[in-house]
Amino acid sequence: MLDWASPASRTAAAYVRPISTSLRPAGNEFVDPGRDVSEHAWQCHTNDAAVTAFERIVRDGVTYEVDGEPLIWKPGSVPGGRLGFTKLLLRRVDG
């Protein structure tokens, strides 16, 4: 079971870029009445291959959830012979 009462487990040292943001007003089929929701998604590239789908990451003082299973590019599998990295999606929901 996930424990959201404890602090995020790691801080991201990575390249992070925004990919989407959306607002779901109260009354939307996916939102409880009386609650506006703002959702933000980011793409993250890091050298940390140990990140799992069940973690939270802090980036610039903001806590994000890892959204889905991270994709691991192993050394030698990246075109041009570059070092491997982990690509993952981060998500934050406010409201």
Q: Please give the chain's pLDDT, 95 residues, in tens.
A: 455 566 666 655 678 888 988 877 666 666 566 677 788 899 988 887 788 888 888 888 888 899 999 988 776 665 666 667 888 999 988 87
Q: Scanning the structure block, which residue is given the tokens 């075109």?
A: 79
Sign of the torsion formed by the C-alpha atoms of 25, 28, 31 and 35: positive
Q: Within 13 Å, how many C-alpha atoms sit on residue 58's CB side? A: 8
For the entire predicted model, the pTM comes to 0.68
Query: What's the CA gap between 88 and 95, in Å, rounded?
Result: 23
Query: Domain map of the chain by residue range?
Result: 10-94
